[in-house]
A = this chain, B = another copy of it.
């Protein structure tokens, strides 16, 4: 069991770079699926949040995605320009903007159903094989755990 000293700054030793590279690779892999639908990857994520419940305030979307208004406001304006979301000031509290889906977006929901399965294939897995799905689930949980440790809730 020889202990070989390793340069701690070597790129291929960095978890951060592995994450950075994998994240960009996955985002790129979504491109061919989303671009024909007129969606970017972050826009797709916003729709996923809204599919789970509407309407959502900009703050709620930001909490779900870890993005701030500086990123979300222009992104939402583009989604609005695409006819996929509506933005409306809350009458009760004029500070908040409630974002909801259009009919067009709800129709997109059907089209998007197949996207995750296609992505599993791109990941090199078989969507029919439980083992492959379990591998993905394990990796996903490890990443969520890492994110939680880096961003402790404001408790």
What is the interface of chain A, defined by CB distance below 8 A to chain B? 8-30, 41, 45, 48-49, 51-52, 64-66, 109, 112-113, 115-117, 119, 122-124, 136, 139-144, 146-147, 149-151
The residue from B18, B30, B139, B142 contacting A147, defined by CB atoms under 8 A apart:
B18
Residues from chain B with Cβ under 8 Å of A14 in the complex = 48, 116, 140
Bound Cα distance from A140 to B64, whole angstroms:
25
Contact A18 B123 (CB under 8 A): no
Contact B15 A147 (CB under 8 A): no
The residue from B52, B139, B142 contacting A146, defined by CB atoms under 8 A apart:
B139
Knowing that A11-B45, A25-B146, A139-B143 touch, tell me 6 more A-B residue pairs with CB under 8 angstroms: A11-B49, A18-B143, A21-B147, A25-B150, A123-B146, A139-B142
The 10 closest A-B pairs by CB, nearest first: A23-B23, A124-B149, A18-B143, A25-B150, A22-B143, A8-B116, A18-B140, A19-B23, A22-B147, A25-B147
Bound Cα distance from A144 to B146, whole angstroms:
17
Instruction: For A16, give the chain B residue with the smallest CB separation.
Output: B26
Residues from chain B with Cβ under 8 Å of A113 in the complex = 8-9
Q: Which of A26, A28, A29, A136 has the most C-beta atoms of chain B within 10 angstroms of its own C-beta?
A: A26
Contact B119 A64 (CB under 8 A): no
Contact B10 A52 (CB under 8 A): yes
Bound Cα distance from A116 to B119, whole angstroms:
32
